[in-house]
Amino acid sequence: MRFRVLALILAWSFLSVPLAAAAQPAEKMYRIGVISNAGPATVAPLVGAFRRGLADLGWLEGKNIHIEYRWAEGDLGRHPRLAADLVALKVDVIVLAGTSAARAAVHATRTIPIVASVLGDPVAAGLVRSLAKPGGNLTGLAWQAGDLVTKQLQLLQETVPRATRVAALGHAATNSVVRKATEAAARSLGVQVDMIDIDVPGDIPGVFEAMRRRGAEALIVLPSPMFYAERRRLAALAARDRLPAIYEVKEYADEGGLMSYGPSFPEMYRRAATYVDKILKGAKPGDLPMEQPTKFDFVINLKAAKAIGLTIPPPVLARADELIQ
């Protein structure tokens, strides 16, 4: 009799395990929409940093999140369509970079939370009320782009003190604030800046021809998602024309650019994951203060300097955070 009771108990315990497991509610699957300004290969390190940031916080693709990617492939004119597409999918949060994408997303939705991984001066652009209290549905990481450009122009002048005529390459759709900051910085440094704005990547080769005709002696490439996507071509054309140039982030120097000064984009993308984490857990984007990078790296590519016959002054070399040999 005791054996029969024990057998019944064991049989019930084996049967109850799958029943109990089946009774557990499935973990909710959240949908994250990502608008990239370039293509998959170009931004792979940035997307990888974002995904690692999510994973560190327990958000795993296929388990509790699904990521919908939309690629602009360097054409920022696609942003409105890409944003509308993600809104139609009813994603839980949209992640993006740059003023153009942010404007398109805010125009497409006032309810879906938007996280900017990289954004230059959203207050001046009219995208948020303040960095401390953004309001609305946009938050994330940003910096004062004007301050960044001022420092870049100063470093360029110290590196090439003979240069009195500097070309400033800007993207017409995104650089109104940065343009004013560049002109103000040039006046304070006594440098003549020739502002050149372009609309699409196809304009890039022609603009270098224009710079040669105008007698440019150095180049500053202003912050733009389009330029980031075209960084290899920009560096190659500057090298061809033996034009000392400074760019916004290290990835330009990695691709052969002479110098860069700016924050770490991979780190900013990783930090963007913390905003997504808070929002998926119930926080409102308008209540989350926008974060600003506190570390800016100065990188010099010595191979690029040698290729254009430029000797970097020792005081400038001493200030570099990294030298690419």
Taking residues 62-88, report their average pLDDT.
Answer: 95
Domain harbouring 72, CATH code = 3.40.50.2300
The pair of three-digit structure tokens given for residue 232, joined into one six-digit string:
């290899």
Going by pLDDT thresholds of 50, 70 and 90, the confidence category of residue 175 is low
Residues 198 and 320 in one domain: yes
Going by pLDDT thresholds of 50, 70 and 90, the confidence category of residue 26 is low
Q: In the prediction, which pLDDT does 7 show?
A: 47
Dihedral-angle region of residue 227 (phi above 0 means left; psi in -120 to 50 means alpha; beta otherwise): alpha
The pair of three-digit structure tokens given for residue 185, joined into one six-digit string:
């910085």
Among 47-56, 124-133, 300-309, whose mean pLDDT is lowest? 124-133
| Neighbouring C-beta atoms of residue 77, cutoff 10 Å | 13
Q: In the prediction, which pLDDT does 174 show?
A: 61
Q: Which residues of 23-34 are buried (b: 16+ CB within 10 A; e: fewer)?
A: eeeeeeebebbb
Residues 69 and 34 in one domain: yes
Residues 203 and 139 in one domain: no
Residues 72 and 113 in one domain: yes
Residues 214 and 90 in one domain: no
Taking residues 187-198, report their average pLDDT.
Answer: 88
Cβ proximity of 35 and 106 under 8 Å = no
Indicate the number of domains in the chain.
Answer: 2
Q: Say yes or no to pLDDT of 51 above 90.
A: yes
Taking residues 114-133, report their average pLDDT.
Answer: 92
Residues 237 and 175 in one domain: yes
Going by pLDDT thresholds of 50, 70 and 90, the confidence category of residue 244 is very high
Residues 127 and 276 in one domain: yes
d(CA 226, CA 37): 7
Residue 43 domain-assigned?
Answer: yes
pLDDT in tens, 90-115: 999 999 998 889 999 999 999 999 99
Taking residues 34-62, report their average pLDDT.
Answer: 95
What's the domain range around 63? 30-143+264-287
Q: Say yes or no to pLDDT of 157 above 80.
A: yes
Going by pLDDT thresholds of 50, 70 and 90, the confidence category of residue 177 is confident
- The model's pTM: 0.86
Q: In the prediction, which pLDDT does 21 show?
A: 45
Cβ proximity of 190 and 154 under 8 Å = no
pLDDT in tens, 246-282: 999 999 999 999 999 999 999 999 999 999 999 999 9
How many CA atoms, within 13 angstroms, populate the side-chain half-sphere of residue 228?
Answer: 27
Mean pLDDT of the chain: 90
Q: Say which residue, 275 or 10, is predicted with more confidence.
A: 275
Residues 162 and 237 in one domain: yes
The pair of three-digit structure tokens given for residue 215, joined into one six-digit string:
């007698």
Taking residues 136-158, report their average pLDDT.
Answer: 90
Going across the sheet that includes 65-71, the strands are: 65-71, 30-36, 93-97, 114-118, 138-140
